[in-house]
Structure 1
Amino acid sequence: MTKIYELSEKKRLETIEFLTLYKNENALPESWLRGRLDEINRLREFIPTTEELIFGARVAWRNSNRCIGRLFWNSLQVFDERQLETEEEIYRALLRHIEYAANGGKIRPAITIFKADCIRIWNYQLLRYAGYETADGIIGDPDSIELTKICEALGWKGKQTPFDILPLVIQIGTNTPRLFDIPESYVLEVVIRHPQNEELARLNLKWYAVPIVSNMKLSVGGIEFQAAPFNGWYMGSEIGARNFADVTRYNLLPAVAEIMGLDIKSNITLWKDRALVELNVAVLHSFKEDGVSIVDHHTAAQQFKLFEKQEEVADRQVTGNWSWLIPPVSPATTHIFHKPIENLIKKPNYFYQKNPF
């Protein structure tokens, strides 16, 4: 087997495996692979071309075991920004990503890939609400308390509302991380209201339109891109059954149940279930009314079934993390709940990484 200098054995094998996959799926001749490996030997490192990077990012989505929305993996827009050197350049690229993805509500899947091994974005998502610990309790998103404190220590001052968008925190190498505010004009948000119960509006809820994950790394051919924010669009239950409902997040089920006049003293009334469904109805209704892309969990499961069929035709094994693929609302009503699936990790892929803070 061809030796690739300057790479560890593990990375060498990953590079060969990736380029072989790229050759096969693009119907390239064997001579192309030999020539590409010879080129890597001469350079003594593997630097993916833009075309290889695009392919790798899309296949990484296809291989993402926790994602139910993989039917659309080949539509991912890839922005290759490995040439950027400064925090200001990275910031402008992130704003461009936010604007492109939002697209006035017609959400477009996208990823922006920065130089490997030296750039980190500290945010969990590019758009994320702050969380404040106060004498009267937590205001905002409890999951953001730690990063909010860091932003404040770096000089940021929020308004202490439940929905303050955190600034972007960008770090290059060992440099001190820098803060960049996201202009309000870039933040598309949806005000949450219920199609029948107008009283729900008094909770003054809203959520941002695009979930742009920015704390995961992209692994392609043995190269790890630690800053590669990417997005699809929301499944309604991500907001209605997790962000709003989890007791460690906004914990809104008791407040919704009160508005609905439900008896919360006994579990036998299923007040949590009833409140959860209506909260999810409100999220889906609000996004649809505002013309913002979103998918309900039943449609998402049907789309995943089409993905499974496509992969079967392509003679590829579908892998997945069952506990993540089943929706948090009524999972037994989807085919995924009743179907075993192997949680086998394939590369290219996206992986969680240790927080930089």
Structure 2
Amino acid sequence: MIVKQNQELYMEAERFITRCYTELGKSQEIQSRLQAIEGSIQETSQYVHTFEELEHGAKMAWRNSNRCIGRLFWDKLHVLDKRDLSTPNEVATALFDHISYATNQGNILPTISIFKPQAHGKDQVRIWNHQLIRYAGYETENGIIGDPHSILFTKVCQEMGWNGDGTRFDLLPIVIQTSGNPPTFYALPKDIVLEVPITHPSLEAFASLDLQWYALPLISDMLLEIGGIQYSAAPFNGWYMGTEIGARNLADLNRYNQLPEVARILGLSTERESTLWRDKALVELNIAVLHSFKQAGVSIVDHHTAAHQFQLFEKQEKEKNRALTGDWTWLIPPVSPATTHIFHQSYDDRMVTPNYYYQAKPYK
């Protein structure tokens, strides 16, 4: 029998293997695989996923991600197995390869790179960045330059010896830590990062705002859990929904706060809120983002299309007799949410595994 401290791991493995192999049409192999896992846990207090288990487990985790509106495409995830890499240099090279592969010259491929799992509760690989591609934020005498969200991490990078150019759109380095060793930073090669200048389809003056954004949203600080095994470094990406950039990154007061500038370009009076100048500016900013990405040949989806796609996902899950989970507060788009079916529904927000989980920042 498995000793008491490993019983929970085996139970998690049993739940995952049973569901995974059933979905893959390999039910006849469940018992033999569980016997092998039981033996491994007895000997080493852990077990190793096959690539097939890793691949389908990562896809299941996307399918179970309560906050993601783009789950219709969960089974199209490209899984890159990087569990054999140990050194920061190897990890950095793999991350650069991920960026190039997933960017795919603008035809974004949903992709995840999975590195060594935790061993005895300790990280073997940890990426300090929230996103692999992100702009720096600087506190200056003349106010904040760049992305306010990045101020703390920018300071951490500077303390490590990194220096940016001090512009609004400096690419932060990637910070990697392996097996508890001191972190190492790597500058992002600019030739692998696709960035999109933001222009408007009918307002030429919009270009004077000198706005841009990167093509690839690549989350890199979440923990992937599959069958009781925890992968503390498993960066993943899809493609952008336009409102993520146009209604949040560039519009939020505590981010780039560009709505007053857009209103100026539009000639709107900002003296009274009742003129709804913010709403008008917000719509035009989102139009500009969608236009610019499409003009550059970069994958992006508008929030209405994304909501329709989520409705198809809901239908598919019902047909498969799988319980649908979701976080309503994240699923509704930040622009015109009441025009989508999501706004008028409720969702079960319980966490189902496999899944992605937030981790404490290692530099706090």
> What TM-score results when the alignment is normalised by the length of structure 2?
0.95
Of 333, 348, 354, which aligns to 1:327?
333
Please tell me the residue identity of whatever aligns with 2:109.
Answer: R
Superposed displacement of residue 6, structure 1: 7.8
1:43 corresponds to 2:40: yes
Within a 5 Å distance, the mapping from 1:1-357 to structure 2 comes to 3-5=1-3, 8-30=6-28, 32-44=29-41, 45-117=46-118, 118-357=124-363
Determine if contact 1:65/1:320 at 8 Å carries over to the other structure.
yes
> What TM-score results when the alignment is normalised by the length of structure 1?
0.97
Task: Report the Cα distance in structure 1 between the residues aligned to 2:170 and 2:344, rounded to whole angstroms.
Answer: 40
Determine if contact 2:215/2:298 at 8 Å carries over to the other structure.
yes
Task: Report the Cα distance in structure 2 between the residues aligned to 1:77 and 1:135, rounded to whole angstroms.
Answer: 45
Mean CA deviation greater in 35-44 or 120-129: 35-44
Superposed displacement of residue 7, structure 1: 5.3
Root-mean-square deviation (CA, aligned residues, Å) is 1.1
Mean CA deviation greater in 156-165 or 339-348: 339-348
Task: Report the Cα distance in structure 1 between the residues aligned to 2:238 and 2:115, rounded to whole angstroms.
Answer: 19
Against the structure 1 CA distance between its residues 55 and 5, is the aligned structure 2 distance closer, same or farther, given a 3 Å change threshold? farther
Count how many residue pairs are aligned between Structure 1 and Structure 2: 354
Mean CA deviation greater in 251-260 or 56-65: 251-260
Superposed displacement of residue 13, structure 1: 1.7
1:172-224 deviation digits (Å, cap 9, x = unpaired): 12211001111110010000001111111111000000000001010000011
Task: Report the Cα distance in structure 2 between the residues aligned to 1:215 and 1:6, rounded to whole angstroms.
Answer: 31
Please tell me the residue identity of whatever aligns with 2:287.
Answer: V
Please tell me the residue identity of whatever aligns with 1:41.
Answer: E
SS at match of 1:303: helix
Superposed displacement of residue 4, structure 1: 4.3
Superposed displacement of residue 28, structure 1: 1.8
Mean CA deviation greater in 6-15 or 21-30: 6-15
Task: Report the Cα distance in structure 1 between the residues aligned to 2:140 and 2:77, rounded to whole angstroms.
Answer: 41
SS at match of 1:171: strand
Where structure 1 has 5 or more consecutive residues not aligned to the other structure, the ranges are none
Determine if contact 2:135/2:169 at 8 Å carries over to the other structure.
yes
Please tell me the residue identity of whatever aligns with 1:195.
Answer: P
Superposed displacement of residue 255, structure 1: 1.0
1:125-174 deviation digits (Å, cap 9, x = unpaired): 00000000000000000000111001111111100000000000000122
Determine if contact 2:110/2:237 at 8 Å carries over to the other structure.
yes
Where structure 2 has 5 or more consecutive residues not aligned to the other structure, the ranges are 119-123
